[in-house]
Chain A
Amino acid sequence: DQQVKQNSPSLSVQEGRISILNCDYTNSMFDYFLWYKKYPAEGPTFLISISSIKDKNEDGRFTVFLNKSAKHLSLHIVPSQPGDSAVYFCAVLKGNAGNMLTFGGGTRLMVKP
């Protein structure tokens, strides 16, 4: 029973273009959403987050959009850079669950020079 799904296992984008990574969740009680980035041989690192009371959060080249009615989360990276090539995990948090993160399966982003 996957509560968080990333339906695209991989995505290839040209340098300078926009990368859009998608995530769907099933539980409307989730109230905090995060994106983590993982390079090979390293642990995931926090990238950006959004609270359920917002529909957009922006940090430099990274913007996260939340569509609560569709239970859909997306991460936009623009412009994409080769150093952005990594696996991106979305994660959800239920506020009263002691910061228990539930992760999606990840999307491998490849940004081609």
Chain B
Amino acid sequence: DAMVIQNPRYQVTQFGKPVTLSCSQTLNHNVMYWYQQKSSQAPKLLFHYYDKDFNNEADTPDNFQSRRPNTSFCFLDIRSPGLGDAAMYLCATRRGGGVTDTQYFGPGTRLTVL
């Protein structure tokens, strides 16, 4: 049973055309994360929500925004995708409370920018 679901699995957009990636979870976890992973590189944290509290990494481009309308859903909005934004985008969740709680990852959305 899928616990962290990402839709779509593959997304193609055009240069400059806004795109939204979706993540949902059935775990009722407090924390949700968005990571960007470029080819053969480490996943890089973009931002995370602890409940409704939004935390942006210092080097996350302004082009990237996120919304979390409820516990189950979190969205990644890329306002004006550039060619350099082509990557795998991973969503993860964590129960919260214990700092060493495991993060559970979704399968990722691979974004292609034409």
Contact = CB atoms under 8 A, between A and B. Distances in A.
Interface of A: 4, 9, 32, 36, 41-46, 49, 51, 89, 93, 95-96, 98-106
Contacts of A51: 100
Interface residues of B, number: 27
Pick from A44, A45, A95, A102 the residue with the most CB of B within 10 Å: A44
Contacts of B101: 99
Contacts of B48: 98, 100
B26 interface: no
Interface string B30-54: 0100000000111111001010000
Contacts of A9: 40
Given A44-B43, A93-B100, 16 more contacts: A32-B99, A36-B105, A41-B108, A42-B108, A43-B92, A43-B108, A45-B105, A46-B102, A46-B103, A51-B100, A96-B99, A98-B48, A99-B99, A99-B100, A103-B43, A106-B40
B81 interface: no
Pick from A4, A99, A103 the residue with the most CB of B within 10 Å: A99
